[in-house]
Amino acid sequence: MNMKFVQFYFLFGIVSACSGYRILGAFPFNGKSHHIVFEALMKGLAKHGHQVDMITHFSLNKPMKNYNVIINLAGSMESFVNNITIKFASELSDDMVTPIATIYGNRLCDFMGFEEMQKLFKNPPTDPPYDLVITEAFGAHCYMGLGYVFDVPVVAVMSTMEYPWVSHFAGNNDNLAFVPNIYHIGSGSMSFWERLKNVAIYFASLRKFHTLTEEIQTQSMRKYLRPDIPNVREVEKNVALTLVNSHPVLYGVKPITPALVQIAGLHIESNEEVLSLELNKWMNDSSHGVVCFTLGSMILIETLPKETLEEIYDSFKKISPIRILMKIADNSKLPPGLPDNVKVSSWIPQQAVLAHPLTKIFITHGGLGGVQEALYYGVPMIGIPLFNDQKKNAEVFVAKQMMIKIDFDKLSGKLLESALRAMLHNPIYKEKSMHYSKLFRSRPISPLNNAIYWIEYVVQNGADSLRSPALQFSWWQLALLDVYGFILLVIILSTVLSVLSVKLIFTKIISKSNNSKLNKKKTH
């Protein structure tokens, strides 16, 4: 079937299926990298004719039709943009369950007590009323309770691959024998000990999240939403659809239910970033190529130790005339001696830079948004992962020969120069990058249109239309332990009965033989 015809078919179905729904987007966490995905989705819905009302920390730079920020949460919590030092990031624990559940979960539920929030909950719009709620699946699952307030389906969306507690409530119980959880570092088939660790971490994370959130978030919903609202674990199970920022090229092939839709790359294809005239000229003039160096929206490169920065300067100087574009929020904090082939900027239109044909290498911390963009545009990477999923992402791309990883605690000018030269002179990295870019891009429908299709599907057909039957069973039933136990019991009982039967038969035979011998003696 022709690809363009398939896309037209889906687009026609999306446009013709409805005249436009009213959708409430509730995103209480102010992570910029998270918001990029959510904004792309909600803007896409608005462009398709739906009326989108947003509860968010971020306003649009340019107003657009059908998209309204009705409650602006900006300033209600600390900002993460350009606010994290290298030292702080490197010291973060790999176990992020506690902060996700508490600081970025339970705490955010209290935002529902804000006056503007309460006005919305008690006097929701009726012209028209809401048809759907879309909220983040991360830590503050109390916002999933808005479905009960407005009596509408709820769609959960993630800016990462799914955490164990998300797979759990989506009814998409991963087979841990070959599906690594988000905390598993590595790629390829797992050994016995890796599988054992995978299972232990999965269930430990799941139990920890549930323990930390269940009582507090249930109480918050009953305080701010409705006193008769069910337990938060039951509220989670009523989510109609879950959108996750994943793809088989990223984390491997696995079975998924229809209620779990993979949308990796959604924010890329709908991106509207462009290079400024000055930056565009600089890029075009970089005839020998450009290396883009950024550690994301939060982490400050300029907080690296002075000695490390000076070594990085030296490694950049040695690859001249290749140029380096480096994101630096405050260049006054950089040591003197910045090489002539390095340009610093407080903000980089990352996608536009990665899409430029002269961009040769992307030096990154391994955040999911950035590595997806490099994957999409076929740009090899040097990874300096610091915490959380960054380490997992780095291992994934190292295995694909798209990245050279440098452990942060071993970062030096010598290692960086070696990685840069390997990337520049060994064609395998570019070849692999282009190969996986092709696989990542090859889809019958764009991630955005796919997400919109299934969102409209659950509004039209009801919150139960895609729900997995797995939610009706306990973990031990899903693992068929009761069935295997019954089969084992039958086998044991059959074996015991067979042994007893054989024993009884032999006993009777021996007894009969003895009686026969005894009778013969009596006869003689």
pLDDT in tens, 391-443: 889 999 999 999 999 998 899 999 999 999 999 999 999 999 999 999 999 99
pLDDT of 138-155, one tens digit each?
Answer: 999 999 999 999 999 999
Confidence class for position 518, pLDDT limits 50, 70, 90: low
pLDDT score of 12:
47
Spatial contact of 449 and 41, defined as CB atoms under 8 Å apart: no
pLDDT of residue 497: 93
Strand order in the sheet with 132-136: 67-72, 51-56, 22-26, 132-136, 154-157, 241-244, 260-262
Q: How many CB atoms lie within 10 A of CB 114?
A: 15
Integer Cα distance of 327 and 350 in angstroms: 10
22-264, which class in CATH?
alpha beta
And the tokens for 108? 């955010």
- What percent of the chain is predicted at pLDDT more than 90? 73
Average pLDDT of the chain, as a whole number = 90
| Residue 155 contacts residue 239 (beta carbons within 8 Å) | yes
Question: Which strands make up the sheet holding 323-327, listed edge to edge?
Answer: 342-345, 323-327, 290-293, 359-364, 381-383, 403-405
Task: Give the architecture (CATH level 2) of 273-441.
Answer: 3-Layer(aba) Sandwich (3.40)
Tell me what pLDDT residue 79 has. 81
Report whether 352 contacts 274 (CB < 8 A).
Answer: yes
Give percent above pLDDT 70 in the chain: 93
Is-contact 291 323, C-beta < 8 A? yes
Q: Give 8's pLDDT tier (boundaries 50, 70, 90).
A: very low
- Torsion angle (degrees, nearest 10) of CA 484, 485, 489, 490: -30
pLDDT of residue 46: 97
Work out whether strand 67-72 and strand 132-136 pair parallel, antiparallel, or are unpaired.
unpaired
pLDDT of residue 389: 83
- For tokens 């896409």, the residue is 44
Determine which helix (DSSP H) or strand (DSSP E) holds 205, and give its type and residue range. Answer: helix 192-224
Supply the pLDDT for residue 379: 97
Residue 317: pLDDT over 60: yes
For the residues 170-187, what does the mean pLDDT come to? 84
Confidence at 76, pLDDT banded by 50, 70, 90: very high
- 62 neighbors 46 (Cβ within 8 angstroms): no
pLDDT on residue 158: 96
Q: How far apart are CA 265 and CA 244, in angstroms?
A: 11
- Position 9 pLDDT exceeds 50: no
pLDDT tens-digit map of 439-482: 999 999 999 999 999 999 999 999 999 999 888 888 888 889 99
**Tell me, what's the pLDDT at 524?**
57
Task: Pick the range with the lowest mean pLDDT from 36-45, 102-111, 202-211, 465-474.
Answer: 465-474
Q: How far apart are CA 66 and CA 51, in angstroms?
A: 5
Q: pLDDT (tens digit, 9 = 90+) per residue, 320-374?
A: 999 999 999 888 999 999 999 999 999 899 999 999 999 999 999 999 999 999 9
Band the pLDDT of 17: cuts 50, 70, 90: very low
The encoded tokens of residue 65 equal 């039709």
pLDDT in tens, 28-72: 999 888 999 999 999 999 999 999 999 999 999 889 999 999 999
Tell me what the mean pLDDT of segment 495-519 comes to: 81
Greater model confidence, 6 or 363: 363
